[in-house]
Structure 1
Amino acid sequence: MKPFLPWLRTGLALALLAWGTCQAQILIGQTVGVTGSAAATVQEASQGASLYLDHVNARGGVGGQKIELLTLDDKFDTKLTLDNTRVLIEQKGVLGLFMTRGTPHTQGILPLLEQHGVPLVGPSTGAIALHKPVHKYVFNVRAPYQHEVEKAISHLNTLGIKRIGVVHVDDTFGSDALAGAMSGFKANQLEALFVEKFDRTKPDFTALAPRVAQKQPQAVVFVGTGAAVVDGIKALRGAGVTGQIVTLSNNASGGFIKALGDSARGVVVTQVLPSERSLNYPLVKEAMDLAKAKNIADLTPAMLEGFVSAKVLVEGIKRAGPKPDRAKLQAGLESIKKLDLGGLELSYSATDHSGLDFADLAIIGADGKFKR
């Protein structure tokens, strides 16, 4: 019998694969940094999305078809994002894409979306370039980064904080957020105290932190992702910077707070959804109830973003009809008008794929949680 075992194992594997494909009749693709500098926030956003997708599948899916999210790890590397997207679209035949992460990463796959007519729902980036001009196949859920930065600078100004500098990653994300900062300065009749940038692939704050400290800023807007921002904030504090530090919603995760350790307290993080503890919003209560059912003690902003994005994805699939294809999903998403997500309303059209426009601020408290 031994000579037949390899064939048997192969045949069994193929049978199991075929069975799995039949069960997951709606295949959605995702390329995201499961590992790499954005991993902590990615994990929480994916967990939030799974809360809702698992809930829908437990009730029979959409039209009797269960949704499978096929996630490939791009390690937050733009080249891997492009390669993974090609695999998901051309080899796996996904119906649509979901919650890519990173501004240059998402911008890099736009030609593939156009070529194959594949909708992307809820990219986890607030790049204004994904809102204006409208990209036919990109359906944003969260507000643009520029709105977040403008709100942060206006808030600092109302507190009498005028000496504000900007540190940003040297890529399209950083440039986009910097444009928002400059708009915020202008609106508040202020000028940037300084603008510093750092390399995305090899961030080094050895020289940058002392330069910032010499300027004695009252506040620093720090634009970057995950581990780089953690290292940068620690470097600034180590160099003697005592002013308020503000970073953006892409770092709104429990993992980010944990990584900051003793440097976390007092850091302001902009938000694109209501407080994850605000039961005044039905969507928060819904997410909280599903989390508790899975023994997840606390929601985080990143989890809530994943949850809300999954709700939008499922609504689009429902509207695509009993035999969804890419074109039907596209049309289904564009047909969404005044969708109540649970206290927040979202609409799309052929000329508007911006989604929500909610922006707020939170500060990390002594207990290691975000406070509004």
Structure 2
Amino acid sequence: MRNLSTAFRCLAQLLLLSVAALPAAAQIVVGQTAGFTGAVAAGVQETTAGAKLYFDAVNARGGVNGQPIRLVSLDDKFTPKLAAENARKLITEHNVIALFLNRGTPHTEAISPLLMEFRLPLVGPSTGAMVLHEPVHPYIFNVRATYQREAERAVQHLGLTGLTRIAILRTDDSFGADVAAGAVKGFTGAGLQPVMNETFNRAKPDFSALAPMVAKTNAQAVVFIGSGAAVADGTRAIRAAGSKAQIVTMSNNASGGFITQMGENARGTIVSQVFPNARSIASPLVKEAIELARAKGLDGVSPAMLEGFAAAKVLVEGLSRAGVGPTREKLLTALNGIRKYDLGGMELNYSPTDHTGLDFADLSIIGADGRFRR
């Protein structure tokens, strides 16, 4: 896993620093703002590496309708204000045709007005916030399932396994509130109530008071909603407080980097997933990604990598349908016209009234070997 994580970091660094040799006019320029440093850096690097796998393969075949794709990535340090500033810079200075694979719910909300102002699409935001699905945003095209679907599925699973004392710890932002709403649906369906439902500061998480509270409730499981670094720090605090509660977190932490952050606490942690098992070659999507990864010397792909890979496939499909010399308007029309698109064993549909994308949600557990297992 260490070799794979090192390779991800190298790919991400190359992505940020590379300058394509062909003239800019011959390229299709796509923009990305995400937290390449900060609390979500590990996951961002992996999702971007997955997207780069597919873009590189497309460019090696001659690009899209004869034009190569260039992804311009800027680091917003997981700060919504900087995400909006970066997005404006990408739109006005780099003249991108679309924004792509940004990270974070409040960050996407900060970018959203710019999409309306400049009339360009955002494809594959790395967030499953319901607010991006309902009501339909005319310029946001989701690929992955919603966080609420994940959280509901996770709580249902815990209830079915006989766990009744379940706590919620969540970041105090729109992401945390959104996921918690899905968890509450799961509690309602299972006829349960959370033994604790507390927030922590997103920017400066402090678990010195919360961890003893978890232990005092005798919680059997904790639905932990936050960035990888926060969940790792919080889990260590919970263990230090004497709690052995099952830790359950969302797909935003489905990365090899998260496993590294968790350290000795990784084993047994449940992480929801929004794509098939990253080692299952029975899935055409996974098989394609693994083959391209191995061609680059990687051992395989991570769940986070699959998310970026799938998002890149959707964007390329839209660009292909937009024709030679695509514009923002042509790409928007093309994306809205995608019907029954086979991502690789997963069907995706868009229309002007539905930008949800996929609805796949499952659970995995981190094994003793430091890998996600279903």
Shared fold (TM-score, shorter chain, > 0.5) = yes
Aligned to 2:7: none
Matched, 1:87 2:89: yes
Aligned to 2:193: 191
Aligned to 2:157: 155
Aligned to 2:57: 55
Q: What is the alpha-carbon distance in structure 2 between the residues aligned to residue 126 and residue 24 of structure 1?
A: 34
Aligned to 1:312: 314
Amino acid at match of 1:158: L
Q: CA deviation at 1:111?
A: 0.5
Instruction: Indicate if the aligned counterparts of 1:346 and 1:356 stay in contact, CA closer than 8 A.
Output: yes
Amino acid at match of 1:182: V
TM-score normalised by length of structure 1: 0.94
Q: CA deviation at 1:298?
A: 2.4
- Tell me the alpha carbon deviations over residues 287-309 of structure 1, each in whole angstroms, 9 at most, x when there is no partner: 00000000011210000111011
CA RMSD of aligned residues (A): 1.3
1:139-154 matches, within 5 Å, as 139-154=141-156
Instruction: Indicate if the aligned counterparts of 2:251 and 2:272 stay in contact, CA closer than 8 A.
Output: yes
Counterpart pick for 1:33 among 26, 32, 35: 35
Aligned to 1:136: 138
After TM superposition, the structure 1 stretch with the greater mean CA deviation from structure 2, 123-132 or 240-249, is 240-249
Q: What is the alpha-carbon distance in structure 2 between the residues aligned to residue 38 and residue 240 of structure 1?
A: 27
- Tell me the alpha carbon deviations over residues 258-279 of structure 1, each in whole angstroms, 9 at most, x when there is no partner: 1111010000000000000111
Instruction: Indicate if the aligned counterparts of 2:289 and 2:309 stay in contact, CA closer than 8 A.
Output: yes
Q: CA deviation at 1:183?
A: 1.1
Q: What is the alpha-carbon distance in structure 2 between the residues aligned to residue 365 and residue 18 of structure 1?
A: 40
Instruction: Indicate if the aligned counterparts of 1:24 and 1:67 stay in contact, CA closer than 8 A.
Output: no
Counterpart pick for 2:298 among 296, 299, 313: 296
| Structure 1 residues 94 and 183: alpha-carbon distance in aligned structure 2, compared to 1, 3 A threshold | same
Amino acid at match of 1:67: I
1:274-353 matches, within 5 Å, as 274-353=276-355
Amino acid at match of 1:201: A
Counterpart pick for 2:77 among 75, 79, 86: 75
3-state DSSP class of the match of 2:158?
helix
Instruction: Indicate if the aligned counterparts of 1:31 and 1:73 stay in contact, CA closer than 8 A.
Output: yes
| Structure 1 residues 326 and 243: alpha-carbon distance in aligned structure 2, compared to 1, 3 A threshold | same
Which segments of structure 1 move beyond 4 Å, counting only runs of 4 or more? 17-20
Aligned to 2:67: 65
Q: What is the alpha-carbon distance in structure 2 between the residues aligned to residue 62 and residue 33 of structure 1?
A: 28
Q: What is the alpha-carbon distance in structure 1 between the residues aligned to residue 20 and residue 106 of structure 2?
A: 35
Q: What is the alpha-carbon distance in structure 2 between the residues aligned to residue 85 and residue 306 of structure 1?
A: 19
Aligned to 1:245: 247
TM-score normalised by length of structure 2: 0.94
Instruction: Indicate if the aligned counterparts of 2:322 and 2:330 stay in contact, CA closer than 8 A.
Output: yes
Q: CA deviation at 1:25?
A: 1.4
Q: What is the alpha-carbon distance in structure 2 between the residues aligned to residue 273 and residue 66 of structure 1?
A: 27
- Tell me the alpha carbon deviations over residues 41-100 of structure 1, each in whole angstroms, 9 at most, x when there is no partner: 011111100000000000000011000000000010111101000101111110000001
Q: What is the alpha-carbon distance in structure 2 between the residues aligned to residue 297 and residue 321 of structure 1?
A: 35
3-state DSSP class of the match of 1:288?
helix
Q: What is the alpha-carbon distance in structure 1 between the residues aligned to residue 315 and residue 135 of structure 2?
A: 22
3-state DSSP class of the match of 2:107?
helix
Aligned to 2:114: 112
Q: CA deviation at 1:22?
A: 3.1
Q: Larger radius of gyration, structure 1 or 2?
A: 1
Counterpart pick for 2:183 among 163, 181, 184: 181
Amino acid at match of 1:273: F
Aligned to 1:370: 372
Amino acid at match of 2:267: R
Q: What is the alpha-carbon distance in structure 2 between the residues aligned to residue 21 and residue 135 of structure 1?
A: 34
Instruction: Indicate if the aligned counterparts of 2:20 and 2:70 stay in contact, CA closer than 8 A.
Output: no
| Structure 1 residues 38 and 79: alpha-carbon distance in aligned structure 2, compared to 1, 3 A threshold | same
Unpaired stretches in structure 2, ≥5 consecutive residues? 1-18
State, as a whole percentage, how many aligned pairs show the same letter: 58
3-state DSSP class of the match of 2:30?
strand
Q: What is the alpha-carbon distance in structure 2 between the residues aligned to residue 145 and residue 68 of structure 1?
A: 30
Amino acid at match of 2:265: S
Q: How many residues align?
A: 357
3-state DSSP class of the match of 2:72?
strand
Instruction: Indicate if the aligned counterparts of 2:272 and 2:364 stay in contact, CA closer than 8 A.
Output: yes
Q: What is the alpha-carbon distance in structure 2 between the residues aligned to residue 269 and residue 370 of structure 1?
A: 8
Instruction: Indicate if the aligned counterparts of 2:28 and 2:68 stay in contact, CA closer than 8 A.
Output: yes
